[in-house]
Amino acid sequence: MSAKRVNVLVYAGGGTTLESVRHATWSLRRLLGPNYAVLTVTGDQILKEPWAASCTLLVMPGGADLGYCRTLNGEGNRRIKKYVQMGGSYLGLCAGGYYGCSRCEFEVGKTGMEVVGDRELGFFPGTCRGLAFPGFVYHSEAGTRAAELKVNAEALATGNDIVPESFRAYYNGGGVFVDAEKLKARGVEVLASYQDELAVESGDAKAAVVFCKVGEGAVILTGPHPEFSGTNLSPNEPSGHHDYPSVVSALVADEKKRVDFMKACLIKLGLEVNQETEPVPSLSRLHLSSSRPSEITELLHSWHEVGVLAKGDDGQEVIKGENDTFIVEQQGRWNMSGVKDPLPTPTSDDMDVKTQTDGQSADSLLDYNLIPKRLVTYEKGTPESKETPYFNHDAFFANLKHYNTKHTVSDHAFGKVILYGEVVTSTNTLLDKNPTWLSHLPTGLTATATTQVAGRGRGTNVWVSPPGSLMFSTVLRHSLSLSTSAPVVFVQYIAALAIVAGIHSYDRGGYARLPVKLKWPNDIYALDPTAAESEKKYVKIGGILVNSSYAGGDYTLVCGVGLNVTNAAPTTSLSLLAKKLGLQPFTLEKLLASILTQFEELYTRFCRTGFDKRFLDSYYASWLHTDQIVTLETEGGARARIQGITGDWGMLVAEELGWEDRATGRKFQLQSDSNSFDFFRGLLKRKM
């Protein structure tokens, strides 16, 4: 089995600037989602985690390449070179472009600025020399310009006639790839050239963007920043530049050309791009309702009593959380005033990221934490379809009632209160990052959404969450008194079992035969229905993230789940699996109800019996690792056979193998929160 490469990794470690990382991730998510997961990685993760197997593109953004050298020279660069030579792709932007060359020459002879030296990656077999244009000052816009680029359309031909002949790109400190036109025999192509006179010797082509064929892989390096959108730059921002507003205006005018150029570059690197670039959706209202509406009245009353819900200066009822502000409105009394009024005043450090206001395009960089969330409460019913067209509350509560009749749990608390938003930041963030509010939410409250714009994943994993994904987070209170008999670490395993059981018990007629499995400790995999019958290929369709805090004798848990249900990108979906077996497609409301009732049933039994043999047997029946042979990098590369998990703390048990794979009797126990399991390479690594 081989992993499907769906990750686009943007380096965010030593040497990068926050602004460059934000621009790169923003542009790439718009151009590549939902086919790929665009996420950031640190230097430690490049050095020590098995990222290459699932990575389709590694991006080195702007910053200072000496910082990259300090972090990645040696082992890090060896890993990057091997990844590219074995078929991976690399995109180096400005500083990342310098870094990808055999030699960097920056401000030669200028005291305090000069950076000269060979570079280990050497994808471009020559020198990147800067400054292409004068005026650069670190952490300033003083040297910014809208650099005119002439595009080599022939080298970027896509068959869709989208490649512009020329466009203006953001420039601030980049270089030129010297004599690139003479290196064609070594796999180099000039993709774009500077049009204006340069401040350094460059060769005839004045190469601003180059493509390099490296082994089985591909590399694009840039001097300017084609990933910077003018829509994300404020013409009024203090910049130290005498004519910065005109620079921004020029970039905005050429936005479509910039996007088309970026698409062509990504296609040349072998990626699938969105032909129609969708704008980033605006945050929607949140809707709080219950199968028993009087429970919402009781909940609001309790928030008033403890001061969580109070009137603001303008008379609106407000919940001021540690991370988010919620403006509370009653059903049928929506306040249509501008959402910008309650915003805190951004500090100077916040000014490189926009905040969303009425009438402003959401198609720009936003700090979602600064945007107040409007919370509509329903004390007399549930939201109508016109209010939540992508989630049918009546269907959800009806299915919840239906499934609950099949279970012995008396409380039926899971899913009784639902917090729904069509577009949210992250269901986990809304709950977990506002601990005061969270402490006054009932057990079983579940937050769900149609689209997440800032989803969170475990460790380095970020799950793509477009429409068609089932995304939800459920609140649990787990008593400290259960620490010995039912350790909290097993809740992630209980959630995983509930997902599989919820899928298999969705309905009669064959859903129990769907090939859905678990990867230790908490990922959901499915047999790829598009793979050949002779090739069993499992792909990830979901994951679990459990956040915990402790207060007052209880653990408060937020158990977050993301699951591909009807969207086939970036891997596959449950509905495709169902279709292959001739079954009806899943609906999100019914599946959520099925999983939640299974979750409550299993969790209640777990609190009573612990993770006993019955649970272990169920877990092993669903996981991918029976008798799998792995390499333990944490133990000097020892080979071992997976035997199971411990019944006390849920650690993975592996027995060392010796000559001819005979067991030596030596056993290892590995914790789920400190190890990374690269299932497809059979590799266990220490998590950073």
Alpha-carbon span 558 to 543, nearest angstrom: 14
Give the Cα-Cα-Cα angle 348, 354, 359 (nearest 5 degrees): 135
Domain boundaries, given as residue ranges, for the chain: 7-268, 286-621, 626-686
Do the strands 101-106 and 124-130 form a parallel or antiparallel pair, or are they unpaired? parallel
Residue with tokens 């919620």: 326
Q: Which two tokens stand for residue 284?
A: 């929607």
Q: What is the pLDDT of residue 239?
A: 57
Contact 649, 11 (CB under 8 A): no
Three-state SS sequence of 179-235: CHHHHHHHCEEEEEEECCCCCCCCCCCCEEEEEEEECCEEEEEECCECCCCHHHCCC
Query: In terms of Cα–Cα distance, which of 290, 601, 588, 237 is closest to 415?
Result: 290
286-621: CATH, from 3.30.930.10, 3.30.500.10, 2.60.120.380, 3.30.2320.80: 3.30.930.10
Q: What's the pLDDT score for residue 687?
A: 41
| Per-residue confidence (pLDDT) for residue 674, from 0 to 100 | 47
Q: Which CATH architecture has domain 7-268?
A: 3-Layer(aba) Sandwich (3.40)
Identify whether the C-beta of residue 570 lies closer than 8 Å to the C-beta of residue 464: yes
Strand partners, 310: 318
Instruction: Name the burial class of residue 158, with classes exposed (0-12), middle (13-18) and buried (19+) by CB atoms within 10 angstroms of its CB.
Output: middle
| DSSP-H helix ranges across 555-652 | 574-580, 588-609, 613-622
Q: What is the DSSP string of 534-555?
A: TS--EEEEEEEEEEEEEETTEE
Of how many residues is the chain composed?
A: 688
Residues of the chain with pLDDT under 50: 1-2, 334-362, 458-464, 674-675, 679-688
Distance CA 460, CA 652 (A): 20
pLDDT of residue 534: 62
pTM confidence score: 0.76
What per-residue confidence (pLDDT) applies to 517? 94
Quote the pLDDT of residue 460: 41
